[in-house]
């Protein structure tokens, strides 16, 4: 039996004041592509950091009142918070917005019980589509992680797949995302419902609806996506 590493409790405690949680992690295998740490050595372990539902929102909202002129505010907040946590715990932070893009979704599928939904977003058995990653913490030693519980893919038993029928411009066909069509709709008056209330395809998913982001957070993400 693997005993959970005490570092995981320290990470939990350091993330909690920001509405963030550790979203599992794993040890990179020998010879596996792992991001480099500052001194060019490959990372040994990774812990993903993110949120379920709108847990970050009050914390981010307070922070952004003091940082309003900056672009990409949520990325900036994530970097400010997670860099500080990593420094405190002897790790190094990396971010989903860093280029070249790091394989966050592949990492997440190893770290937690997540599966790819027909929308391309990963789906969680309890929180559905209402969760995301704000960064990951890399460490130079092997951390002992609890086993990832095995769960059935929530979309396998979803016969009607309402997510694939809710988009007003059919941006999802289960194999890809027509980004231009979605953005085009968000730019015209007919797109007001999506702009103001959130992505209708994401909202149509029956899993974890009670964890849907607050209307203000949904508007923020839609505006960020529309202007990216």
Q: Which is nearer to ligand B12, 5 or 186 (CB)?
A: 186
Helix (H, G, I), strand (E, B) or coil at 73: helix
Residues 6+ apart with CB under 8 A from 106: none
Using CB under 6 A as the binding rule, whether residue 187 contacts ligand B12 is answered as no
The continuous run of DSSP H or E covering 26 comes out as strand 21-27
> What residues contact residue 34 under an 8 Å CB cut-off, 6+ apart?
28, 42, 43, 44, 46, 138
CB under 6 A: which stretch of 7-15, 18-26, 137-145, 219-227 binds ligand B12?
Answer: 219-227
57 binds ligand B12 (CB under 6 A): no
- Tell me how far apart the alpha carbons of residues 222 and 150 are, in angstroms, rounded to a whole number: 32
Does the protein bind ligand B12 through residue 177 (CB under 6 A)?
Answer: yes
228 binds ligand B12 (CB under 6 A): yes
> Binding of ligand B12 at residue 103 (CB under 6 A)?
yes
**Assigned token pair, 43:** 């990372």
Query: DSSP letter at 162?
Result: G
Taking CB under 6 A as the rule, does residue 121 contact ligand B12?
A: yes
Residue 193 in contact with ligand B12, rule: CB under 6 A: no
Binding test (CB under 6 A) with ligand B12, winner from 13, 180, 224, 227: 224
Given 24, 53, 96, 154, the residue binding ligand B12 (CB under 6 A): 96
Q: Which residues contact 226 (CB under 8 A, 6 or more apart)?
A: 183, 186, 187, 195
Question: How many chain residues touch ligand B12 (CB under 6 A)?
Answer: 25
CA distance 81 to 14: 10
Q: Which stretch binds ligand B12 (CB under 6 A): 9-17, 25-33, 38-46, 101-109?
A: 101-109
Rounded to a whole number of angstroms, the minimum distance from the CB of residue 159 to ligand B12 is: 18
State which residue, 143 or 203, has the beta carbon closest to ligand B12: 203
Of 56, 132, 204, 212, the residue at the interface with ligand B12 (CB under 6 A) is 132
Q: Is the peptide bond before 100 cis (omega within 30 degrees of 0)?
A: yes
Q: Quick check: 116 binds ligand B12 (CB under 6 A)?
A: yes
- Cβ proximity to ligand B12, 143 vs 182, nearer residue: 182
122 touches ligand B12 (CB under 6 A)? yes
HSE-up of residue 136 (Cα within 13 Å, Cβ side): 30
**Which residues are 166's β-sheet partners?**
none
How far does Cα 187 stand from its chain's mean position? Answer: 25
Residue ranges in contact with ligand B12 by CB under 6 A: 96-97, 101-106, 116, 119-122, 131-133, 175-177, 179, 199, 221, 224-225, 228
């Amino acid at each position: 039996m693997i005993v959970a590493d005490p570092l995981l409790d320290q990470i939990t405690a350091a993330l909690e004041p920001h509405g963030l949680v550790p979203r599992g992690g794993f040890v990179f295998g020998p010879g596996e592509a792992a991001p480099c740490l500052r001194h060019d050595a490959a990372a040994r372990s990774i812990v993903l950091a993110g949120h379920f539902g709108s847990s970050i929102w009050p914390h981010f909202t307070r922070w952004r009142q003091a940082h309003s002129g900056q672009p990409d505010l949520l990325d900036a907040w994530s970097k400010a918070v997670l860099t500080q946590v990593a420094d405190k715990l002897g790790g190094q932070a990396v971010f989903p917005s860093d280029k070249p893009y790091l394989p966050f979704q592949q990492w997440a599928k190893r770290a937690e019980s997540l599966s790819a939904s027909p929308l391309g977003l990963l789906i969680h058995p309890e929180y559905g589509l209402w969760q995301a990653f704000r960064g990951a913490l890399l460490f130079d030693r092997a951390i002992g992680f609890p086993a990832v519980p095995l769960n059935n893919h929530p979309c396998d038993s979803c016969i009607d797949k309402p997510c694939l029928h809710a988009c007003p411009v059919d941006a999802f066909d289960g194999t890809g995302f027509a980004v231009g069509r979605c953005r085009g709709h968000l730019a015209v008056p007919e797109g007001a419902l999506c702009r103001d209330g959130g992505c209708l395809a994401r909202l149509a998913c029956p899993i974890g609806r009670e964890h849907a982001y607050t209307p203000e957070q949904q508007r923020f993400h839609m505006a960020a996506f529309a202007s990216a």
